[in-house]
Structure 1
Amino acid sequence: AASTIAAIYKDRWKVELFFKAIKQNLKLKAFLGRSRNAIQTQIWIAMIAYLLVSFAQHLGKTGWTVQRLLRIIQVNLFERRTLKTLFSPDKIPIKQEEAHLSFLL
């Protein structure tokens, strides 16, 4: 039936949008391995990372986007700071944060 096909397409479109968001935010553009296990592992890791940052966004009260949170993590990847410190707007002056992120834009 046409309604069944429309429902399937709608659900498929949601999956496509989810993977588009993962590809854009986590830079999952090429797979590092060729085996089924390597590809599945890379997809699972990307999904877990995306969902953890989405959860952090949900818990935070700053109103930042997932993309902004990911950029803050990327810039501070090798710093020894807690995520709470990184995502706290009181701890990071806006001008300092913009200077760190200006090269990413």
Structure 2
Amino acid sequence: MFSQIMEFVPWTSFSRIVTKYGGETKARSLTFPEQFRAMAFAQLTYRESLRDIEACLLA
């Protein structure tokens, strides 16, 4: 279901905006699309903390 929701995200526009504002220059380990997916997942599954998000993503 999550992948179906992510299909609606306009990734070309997302990439263009990230490039326009130089977002990828300061990224450490996650790219901005990966970070967006993680945060969207956290919101949709009602995660309450970073540890909770991490535990769920690693499972």
Give the structure with higher Rg (CA). 1
TM-score, normalisation: structure 2: 0.36
Higher relative contact order (CA 8 A, sep 6+): 2
